[in-house]
């Protein structure tokens, strides 16, 4: 087996920053555009589905298809990053995203749009995993804090600002909803060009026995996809206890169990179980589930609360999310600077999860007439919690693994964060729908209005409902939104417990570990195993 080529640990401050900042600009631009695509359609969906004559099920799947494809493929991209050129892979992910965006913009019916969004999600999953893996290959963990602060701010800003951008584009007559997909194309192309010209990674010699675990990849992707499809439909199209649940959830769990068995025995697993079984990665994954729920659930359900319960238009609803955005930006940036200065991640992670619980607790009090000042306090707390914890959880995991495994490790925690967000949206959405239905029925009884005389209460176009029904529906959504955030509060407590159990550790000052777990002199692959493959360019 070939010996690795030594890569420098760091460079002089000035040249090192120049070496990092230029490619980082391209990486962050691509990641921002890709992650924005997941939420930009949320405020535009009613108009999009109406124009394409789609159904309510298709309405949900325009969002779910992207999240599902991204979640299922994130660990695959991460493992490929440990086997092949990270530069080549991140450019491929950008190209896939760019093509998917164009096809989505030109879709002529809802089915075409859903398929295009799934293809687009393949690129999103790649960028979620690869951007963090590339940063880990460029910068030692102790220096990575300040850059991870910016990375976390960009990711959260993209998630929260998507609805605002989608509302503005949709409400602009000379643009229209198709530009929700076209708007990212020139920026993705620019990122592709910047990375081609500026990204230079430390090169290591390729292994002669490279093996890609396609069987494991297929088992994981299929199992996760079936499970998420079941979560998306359960309690709306069929009951939790039904033959449909048995037919979907049973095989999904079986596939994932087979995948775990396969991954424990194969030579190059997609998700290295020796990483997931370690204390820090396991606890970080658990905490990331709560963070994922905050990122995705907050944007989706609070946007709906502002529009349906309080009557704001899409653009106004997006603007009302700014306090959450500000909390993420400030907390992520400041915590990144602190981590770089102190070399410790546990305190900001614990603080972030605690603040996240407090934010969810405030939002659990939401009603239709809750003062906006109270809503804003909850939004700031949730945003601050995400900003303090999200990227520091990734950094804590990266600090425990060898450079050859950093792609799979980064992808694993991103995968579980996305999985938490996707499942969270589906489960909380089902709880919201059931609660709304019950409160509307109770409101009709109290008003003495027969259900058949009230119109279609499942229609979110409230202008079509008679005035008494409109107020009942608004009140139902206002009260039900607080109910689902009460559930979120309970789930987020698990994140606090996981964060408290994390073992305090100093961030290493070099890129890699030695076989005994200590920092090496930046020799990739030095962590008690073979060197990683070439990462040319």
Q: What is the CATH number of the domain that holds 197?
A: 1.20.1250.20
Nearest Cα residue to 360 out of 439, 295, 282, 437: 295
Q: Same domain, yes or no, for 259 and 273?
A: no
Last-in-domain residue among 229, 247, 267 = 267
Instruction: Please tell me whether residues 170 and 302 are part of one structural domain.
Output: yes
The confidence score (pLDDT) of residue 97 equals 92
> Do residues 217 and 134 both lie within one domain?
no
Q: How many independent structural domains does the chain possess?
A: 2
Domain, as residue range, for 296: 13-201+268-501
Angle (CA) 16-19-24 rounded to 5° is 115
Looking at residue 295, what is its pLDDT?
Answer: 66
**Tokens read off for 22:** 């230029």
**Are 163 and 221 contained in the same domain?**
no
In a domain, 393, yes or no: yes
Please provide the distance, in angstroms rounded to a whole number, between the alpha carbons at the two ends of the chain.
22
CA distance 126 to 138: 18
In a domain, 521, yes or no: no
Q: Are 370 and 246 part of one and the same domain?
A: no
**Helix (H/G/I), strand (E/B), else coil: 508:** coil
**377 phi/psi in degrees, rounded to 5:** -60, -45
Q: Is residue 305 part of a domain?
A: yes
Q: How far apart are CA 301 and CA 481, in angstroms?
A: 7
Spatial CB neighbours of 525, under 8 Å, sequence gap ≥ 6: 4, 204, 402, 403, 404, 512, 531, 532
Question: 360: closest CA among 529, 492, 251, 187?
Answer: 492
Exposed / middle / buried, residue 39 (Cβ in 10 Å: 0-12, 13-18, 19+): buried
CA distance 246 to 248: 6
Same domain, yes or no: 240 and 167: no
Distance CA(180)–CA(45), nearest Å, equals 10
Q: Give, for all 537 residues of the chain, the pLDDT tens digit.
A: 333 333 444 443 445 566 677 788 888 888 888 878 877 877 777 678 777 877 656 766 787 788 778 877 877 887 787 778 888 888 899 999 999 999 999 998 888 999 999 899 899 888 877 887 787 777 776 676 667 667 767 776 776 677 778 888 888 888 888 998 998 899 889 988 888 888 877 655 545 555 677 788 788 878 877 887 787 677 767 787 888 889 998 999 999 899 889 988 887 777 777 777 778 888 888 888 777 776 666 666 787 788 778 888 777 877 888 888 788 888 888 887 888 788 778 888 899 999 999 999 999 998 888 899 999 999 999 989 988 887 788 778 777 777 667 766 776 777 777 777 777 777 777 777 778 777 887 877 777 766 555 555 555 556 666 677 777 877 888 888 888 888 888 888 888 998 898 887 776 665 555 544 444 433 333 333 333 333 334
Asked if residue 230 and residue 83 are part of one domain, the reply reads: no
Q: Are residues 194 and 222 in the same domain?
A: no
- Assign residue 107 a region (left: φ > 0; alpha: ψ between -120 and 50; beta: otherwise): beta
**Rounded to an integer, what distance in angstroms lies between the CA atom of residue 348 and that of residue 350?**
6
pLDDT of residue 100: 93
Domain boundary among 247, 267, 287: 267
Q: Are residues 218 and 229 in the same domain?
A: yes
Do residues 200 and 535 lie in contact, with contact meaning Cβ atoms separated by under 8 Å? Answer: no
DSSP, residue by residue, 68-85: HHHHHHHHHHHHHHHHS-
Q: What are phi and psi of 234, to 5 degrees?
A: -65, 145
The pLDDT score that the predictor gives to residue 358 is: 94
Please name which of 312, 30, 59, 47 lies closest in space to residue 175, comparing C-alpha atoms: 47
Indicate the residue among 248, 267, 286 that finishes a domain: 267
- Please check whether residue 38 lies inside any domain of the structure: yes
Q: Does 522 fall in a domain?
A: no
Cβ atoms of residues 191 and 32 within 8 Å = no
Residues 169 and 222 in one domain: no
Sign of the alpha-carbon torsion through 137, 346, 291, 370: negative
What span, in angstroms and rounded, lies between the C-alpha atoms of 435 and 476? 8
Q: Kindly give the residue spans of alpha helices, DSSP state H, lying in 8-85.
A: 13-39, 45-51, 56-83
Pair 304, 226 in one domain: no
Does some domain include residue 435? yes
> Domain check: are 193 and 238 in the same one?
no
Sign of the four-CA dihedral 65, 70, 75, 80: positive
Q: Is residue 2 part of a domain?
A: no
Residue 525 in any domain: the answer is no
């Amino acid at each position: 087996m070939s010996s690795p080529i030594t890569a420098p640990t760091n460079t002089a401050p000035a040249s090192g920053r120049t070496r990092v900042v230029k490619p980082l600009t391209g990486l962050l631009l691509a990641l921002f555009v890709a992650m924005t695509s997941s939420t930009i359609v949320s405020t535009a969906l009613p108009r999009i589905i109406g124009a394409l004559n789609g159904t309510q099920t298709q309405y949900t799947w325009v969002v779910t298809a992207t999240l599902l494809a991204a979640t299922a493929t994130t660990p695959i991209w991460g493992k490929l990053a440990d086997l092949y050129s990270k530069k080549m892979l991140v450019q491929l992910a950008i190209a896939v995203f760019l093509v998917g965006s164009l096809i989505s913009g030109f879709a002529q019916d809802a089915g075409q749009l859903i398929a295009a969004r799934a293809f687009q999600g393949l690129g999103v999953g790649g960028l979620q995993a690869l951007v963090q893996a590339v940063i880990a290959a460029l910068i030692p963990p102790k220096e990575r804090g300040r850059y991870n602060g910016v990375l976390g701010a960009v990711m959260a800003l993209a998630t929260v600002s998507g609805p605002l951008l989608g509302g503005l584009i949709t409400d602009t007559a000379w643009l229209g909803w198709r530009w929700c997909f076209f708007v990212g194309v020139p920026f993705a192309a620019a990122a592709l060009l910047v990375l081609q010209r500026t990204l230079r990674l430390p090169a290591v010699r390729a292994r002669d026995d490279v093996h890609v675990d396609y069987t494991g990849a297929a088992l994981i992707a299929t199992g996760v996809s079936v499970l998420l499809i079941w979560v998306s439909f359960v309690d709306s199209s069929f009951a939790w206890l039904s033959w449909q649940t048995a037919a979907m959830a049973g095989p999904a769990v079986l596939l994932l169990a087979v995948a775990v068995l396969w991954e424990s025995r194969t030579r190059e697993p997609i998700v290295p179980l020796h990483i997931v079984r370690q204390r820090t990665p396991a606890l970080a994954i658990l905490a990331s589930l709560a963070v994922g729920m905050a990122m995705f659930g907050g944007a989706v359900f609070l946007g709906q609360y502002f529009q349906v319960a309080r009557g704001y238009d899409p653009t106004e609803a997006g603007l009302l999310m700014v306090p959450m955005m500000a909390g993420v930006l400030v907390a992520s940036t400041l915590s990144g600077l602190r981590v770089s200065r102190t070399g410790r991640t546990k305190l900001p992670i614990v603080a972030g999860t605690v603040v996240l619980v407090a934010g969810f607790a405030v939002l659990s009090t939401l009603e239709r007439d809750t003062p906006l000042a109270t809503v804003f306090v909850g939004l700031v707390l949730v945003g601050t919690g995400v900003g303090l914890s999200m990227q520091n959880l990734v950094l804590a995991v990266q600090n425990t693994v060898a450079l050859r495994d950093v792609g799979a490790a980064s992808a694993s925690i991103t995968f579980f964060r996305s999985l938490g967000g996707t499942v969270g949206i589906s489960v909380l959405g089902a709880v919201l729908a059931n609660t709304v239905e019950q409160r509307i029925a109770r409101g009709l009884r109290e008003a003495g209005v027969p259900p058949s005389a009230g119109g279609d209460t499942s229609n979110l176009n409230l202008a079509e409902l008679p005035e008494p029904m409109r107020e009942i529906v608004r009140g139902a959504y206002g009260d039900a939104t607080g109910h689902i955030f009460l559930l979120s509060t309970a789930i987020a407590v698990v994140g606090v417990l996981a964060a408290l159990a994390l073992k305090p550790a100093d961030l290493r000052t070099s890129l890699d570990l030695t076989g005994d777990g200590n920092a090496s002199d930046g020799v990739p692959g030095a962590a008690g195993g073979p060197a990683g493959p070439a990462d040319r360019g």
